[in-house]
Amino acid sequence: MRKKIVAGNWKMNKSFQEAEELIEDLLDLMEDNALENPEMVICTPFPYLELATDMTDESLISVGAQNVSEHESGAYTGEVSASMLNSIGLNYCIVGHSERRKYFNESSQLLKEKVDVLLNHNIQPIFCCGELIEEREKEIHFDIVKTQITESLFHLNKEAFENVVIAYEPVWAIGTGVTATAGQAQEMHAFIRNLIKEQYGEETANNISILYGGSCNAKNARELFANPDVDGGLIGGASLKADDFYHIYKSF
Ligand code: PEP
């Protein structure tokens, strides 16, 4: 069954104490109102992951990382492996966020390796894709997203692919306050689902969660999530405030 997911990408924000407070506030809000569908996920910075997994242990909140090394283990100073993430009980990891593609030059080939290493350690990749504003203006946004997905995901067999979550995040909407319209989001999500159908068949296409990301907030979430192919959101700025994030989680 296709899962609805609202995932928060905290990026490089919050002190340890602030992280603890935010998780506490979310747990309070969730106390009597937690649902299995949608699933709430928080993707915290690395130093707070264990705190987050401990604090949310008995709740319906899942925890994810924002990055992973493509290597299994060894002399890679500063890196964090998928087996380490698995050993603290993580369920998800964001891969291919546009900030990592841009500032850390992450290529489709590298992202493919990161997807593989995560799946090998039973962590679901939240794979981000999306076009730049110039690419939309040139009307090549469908080609861009198709290439990103094909190059980093379509080597997977059907069983492995079914563990991937896709997040469509038009780069021009991330952190800008400019959201894709509900129509633009639905159009791209339906396109992505159709790509999956061509590659893996209708059943797999219907089972994959495709999230929208890019200035999604407490005001516009309901309209975006009402689209038949939008299965939730990857939320940046608005995930840093418990009330806003909880409101988005309740917007189905
Ligand atoms: C993101 O960084 O994944 C994101 C969607 O950010 P924001 O919600 O702040 O646009």
CATH number at residue 202: 3.20.20.70
Query: How many structural domains does the chain have?
Result: 1
Total Cβ atoms within 10 A of residue 132:
16
pLDDT value for 37: 80
- How confident is the model at residue 194, as a pLDDT? 98
Atom of ligand 1 nearest to the CA of 239: 8
Q: Which candidate, 115, 245, 247, 225, places its Cα nearest to that of 180?
A: 225
Pairing type for strands 39-43 and 5-9 reads: parallel
Sequence-distant (6+) residues with CB within 8 A of 205 are 193, 194, 196, 197
> Which ranges of the chain have pLDDT less than 50?
none
| pLDDT tens string 27-43 | 999 987 767 789 999 99
Domain residues for the domain of 134 are 5-249
169 catalytic? Reply is yes
pLDDT at site 32: 75
| Pocket lined around ligand 1, Cβ cut-off 6 Å | 9, 169, 174-175, 213-216, 234-238
Looking at residue 210, what DSSP letter applies?
A: E
- Which structure tokens are listed for 135? 């690419």
Amino acid 1: pLDDT: 78
Q: Kindly give the distance from the C-alpha atom of residue 75 to the centroid of ligand 1, in angstroms, as a whole number.
A: 32
Closest ligand 1 atom to 11 CA? 2
Q: What's the pTM value of the predicted model, to 2 decimals?
A: 0.97
How many angstroms separate the alpha carbon of residue 176 from the centre of ligand 1?
9
Q: How remote is the CA of residue 241 from the centroid of ligand 1, in Å?
A: 13
State the pLDDT at residue 219. 96
Query: Which residue among 106, 135, 169, 189 is the active-site one?
Result: 169
Q: How far apart are CA 82 and CA 244, in angstroms?
A: 30
- The CA-atom distances, in angstroms, between 112 and each of 131, 160, 176 are 18, 13, 28
